[in-house]
Amino acid sequence: MHANQIVGAVSSAQDAVGDIKDANVKTAAAAGLKQASDAIGNIGGALISGQKAAAEDRASVGTGLQATGAALQGGDQYALLNKP
């Protein structure tokens, strides 16, 4: 998967999470996506400047996505899975 596809997928997920009705699930899922998105931004910035991406940013992407998944497993997934 290319970087632009990853960024697009995270952006689409953020839009879909906005449709979740359960406020706790919505907040937790959005926080996980923000963590991943912020880390992806840091990685992109490092790569553009010719530096190696920090290990903590790489780990933070995974942690954020796992947190999002855990939030979605614990709540109302209907809006996310059935978004037109």
User: Domain locations in the chain?
Assistant: 3-81
Sequence-distant (6+) residues with CB within 8 A of 36 are 10, 60, 61, 62, 63, 64, 65, 68
The packing angle between helices 23-48 and 3-17, to 10°, is 160
Q: What is the C-alpha to C-alpha distance for residues 12 and 4, in angstroms, rounded to an integer?
A: 12
Task: Return the sign of the alpha-carbon dihedral for residues 69, 75, 78, 84.
Answer: negative
9-56 pLDDT, tens per residue? 888 888 888 888 888 899 999 999 999 999 999 999 999 999 999 999
Instruction: Please give the model's pTM, rounded to 2 decimal places.
Output: 0.79
Q: What is the C-alpha to C-alpha distance for residues 79 and 84, in angstroms, rounded to an integer?
A: 9
